[in-house]
Amino acid sequence: MIEIIYNEKKNEEKTSIPSFYIPKNIRQIGEAGKSKRIYIEDYAVTYLNQVGVANLAYPWVAILLGSVKGFDGVEYIFINGVLEVDNMEVSSERIMFNDQIWANIYGRMKEHFPQHDVLGWVLSVPGATLDITDTIYRAHLNHFSGNDKVFFMREAIEKEEAFYSYENGQLRRQLGYYIYYEKNASMQEYMIQKNQGRSIESGEAISDRAIQNFRKIIEEKKMGNTAPKLMTFMYSASVFLVMTVLVIGIALINSHEKMRNMEQALYSISENLEVEAVIGQANIEIKDLSEVQNISEKKTGEEEIIVENMAGGVVPLETEEVETETMEETQAVMTGNTENVSVEQSPVLIYPISINQEYVIQEGDTLFAISKRFYGTKDRANEICDTNNIKDVDKIYPGQKILLP
């Protein structure tokens, strides 16, 4: 990906025709210059690393190739080609670029980089500092004069390097530069030829993860490889699906909780309605309380007293003495609400009940006592257990609701 930043025509400073571009895929080394910005392409850096590793024992020189563009007072130097100089004398006293060397350089430029210009040079001296000596200064002025020419000094052992440019009569060190990544067919072919057909990466001893990652991106774009994009899309889709399921799950849990609360509320309302219905039925069926009291006060002896027209049919009273209770006590026992009503339960009192009437267990109740109270006999305790799925006749608790069969 590149961005148009400058338009230029010959002999004109401004035009609408695009002329040059600044790469977007870059890695910044140090700080960017204000009036001069140096960009060196990734394959050129790779080749410099290969030559540096191969020549750790002695100094070597290379030529930097590319183009220079200017815009708005800023000079942009794009380096995308490197030629190693063969058979050159290099020492602390002398760096000789003779006619034969230049003829060889221009011959190889014509073969491999016909559209490039000479932008400067590279000097690598193992174990040396990055200071500019008189020998370096003279070589630069004699062969690379001009403000648009740069000098790149490297020290491969300690992996130190720096760019210099000619400013105000001296070589000034630049604060930083950029490594950029793009398709560089000329440099790739030159490197393959220098490596005698081997992979470009085979001679690179210095591993740089950032360079490899950027290069991989460029190769994928060049080859039209859509697999990584597909994998990225699938991963994003999977993450979105998981998040959607989580949101739906949370919503369902909240909805289920609300439904449970509503169900409990409806159940409580229905219970209250059932209790009111039972009380109303009891008030209707027990029309004359005095009649019930009169029946309760009779001495039966061994006679069997039959109480007719009561809910649940005919109910035998198997007791010698029948105690009376008020209407409030009767309703309290039937509904289970005996907190504010004192009910003296006689073991011989039989309460009229309806079929499948609901009863609330009170403190001190047992199923045998309940059977005795409502049916006049303890023998129906097991039947109460079966009706209410109670496994153990002794395991009931206050507040528990049961149905009387």
Q: Which amino acid is at 97?
A: F
Q: Which of 225, 249, 273 is the last residue of a domain?
A: 225
Count of CB atoms situated within 10 Å of the CB of 241: 10
Do 176 and 255 lie in one domain? The reply is: no
Provide the token pair at 45.
Answer: 């850096």
**Listed residues 239, 254, 285: the one ending a domain:** 285
Residue type, 128: A
Place of tokens 């815009």: 71
pLDDT in tens, 15-59: 444 477 888 899 999 988 888 999 999 999 999 988 888 888 889
- Same domain membership, residue 328 and residue 264: no
Q: What residue has token string 């740069």?
A: 150
* Predicted pLDDT at 224: 56
Average pLDDT of the segment spanning 346-367: 75
Lowest mean pLDDT among 73-77, 248-252, 261-265: 261-265
Place of tokens 């003296």: 344
Q: Judge whether 130 and 172 are in contact, CB under 8 Å.
A: no
Q: Do 42 and 20 share a domain, yes or no?
A: yes
362 pLDDT above the threshold of 90: yes
The answer on 353 and 390 residing in a single domain is yes
CA distance 366 to 70: 104
Q: Which CA distances in Å does 176 have to 161, 302, 319? A: 10, 120, 112
Which residues face 40 on adjacent strands? 79, 179
Q: Once rounded to an integer, what is the mean pLDDT over residues 276-293?
A: 51
The boundaries of the domain holding residue 29 are 2-225
136 and 275 fall within a common domain: no
Task: Tell me: do 309 and 234 sit in the same domain.
Answer: no
Q: Given this model, what pLDDT does residue 278 score?
A: 52
CATH, residue 171: 3.40.140.10
Highest mean pLDDT among 140-144, 325-329, 343-347: 140-144
Residues 27 and 157 in one domain: yes
* Total-model pTM: 0.48
For residue 342, name the pLDDT band (cuts at 50, 70, 90).
very low
Q: What is the mean pLDDT of residues 257-274?
A: 67
Domain count, the chain: 3
Distance CA 2, CA 20 (A): 10
Rounded CA gap, 80 and 65, in Å? 6
Amino acid identity of residue 38, one-letter, is: I
Q: Which helix (H) or strand (E) holds 62?
A: strand 60-71
- Among 149-163, 280-294, 366-380, the range scoring the smallest mean pLDDT is 280-294
Looking at the fold, whether 306 and 275 belong to one and the same domain comes out as: no
Do 219 and 253 fall into the same domain? no
Confirm if 341 and 319 have CB atoms less than 8 A apart: no
| 321 and 210 fall within a common domain | no
Dist CA 190 CA 200 (whole Å) = 10
Query: Are residues 90 and 201 located together in one domain of the fold?
Result: yes
Q: Which of 68, 177, 173, 82 is nearest to 122 (CA)?
A: 82
Using the 3D structure, point to which of 225, 259, 276 is the last residue of a domain: 225
Q: Six-digit token pair at 345?
A: 């339960």
Same-domain status, 294 and 171: no
